[in-house]
Amino acid sequence: MGMVGTVGLVLHPRRDSEEAIKDILRWADGRRVTVLGLPEEVGRIDCSAVAVDADALVERSDLLVSLGGDGTMLRTMRLIAGRRTPVLGVNLGRLGFLAEIDVRDLPATLSAIDSHAYAVEPRMAVRAKLGEEEVTAFNDIALARIPGEGLAAISVTPAGDPFVRYAADAVIVATSTGSTAYSFSAGGPIVSPRVEAVLVVPAAAHSVFNRALVLPADEEVTLEVLPSSGRVAVEVDGAVHAHLCPGDQVSIVAVPGAANVVRVGSTFYERARRKLGVEGSTAAG
């Protein structure tokens, strides 16, 4: 990332982002940097950010700043998917695993950007086609059971080779970035986001084989809803996008380098230990 001439803001719909926006505007005013925002977001805050539509925000911004939590960060990454424009995540919530910094660190981080004292790291996504719609996720795409309609019975076929059938609450196809989200809660491994791999993780599997799979990023994986399954919801980064019936299938591919994030602070492992409460066994001494 070279000199920043235009910053785009993406805001959480409810959390108070006024303090963070004031910090950004003060920094921008002293450097003749233009600050853009989406009309429905900056319109509810008394600020000098210029309201533009999503296409203009993506096209004109040299840096996108996500102000919110993990959901806002994921939305920002999906918005910019396929472009080199980096995203800085600012946490306004409690856990905020994906956000790089907290609000109190924003002035120092903007100074670090001025001094080029930061790194930009790529993040992989997963992509699937649902009917005529193509969806992209930076955490995961999951086929989840619908309450009252039975288990999700799903066959998993990586690289055209049928491998396993799960009966579970859900089958999650996650990126390494998403390894600390739904996949983690289902018992999947923690994977550094620098690893380009696809995780297939069953949630609450009612099967003899209940292990996760780790696949290379260049292998397509196909999930088929088996005849014994109930209908399933297709969740993309936690939001329901479609429903599938027995006999339906969806193929998922990895998209390496689909977004770029600004890194200035702690390492992934420091953040994982702190945010996930990783302590280890007391018996280990």
Distance CA 276, CA 97 (A): 9
Q: Which residue has the tokens 């977004």?
A: 259
Tabulate helix, strand, coil % of the chain (nearest 5): 25, 40, 40
Tokens standing for residue 121: 């790291």
AA identity, residue 73: M
CB 215 within 8 A of CB 221: yes
Q: Label residues 158-193 b or e (16+ Cβ within 10 Å = b).
A: beeeeebbbbbbbbbbbbbbbbbbbbbebebeebeb
Active-site residues: which are they? 70
Binding-site residue positions: 70-71, 75, 139-140, 169, 180-185, 204
Question: Which CA distances in Å does 119 have to 24, 92, 161, 266?
Answer: 19, 22, 39, 12
273 in the Ramachandran plot: left (φ > 0), alpha (ψ -120 to 50) or beta?
Answer: alpha
Alpha-carbon Rg for the chain, nearest whole angstrom, is 20
Residues near 164 by Cβ (< 8 Å), separated by ≥ 6? 155, 156, 209, 213
Binding-site residue positions for NAD(+): 70-71, 75, 139-140, 169, 180-185, 204
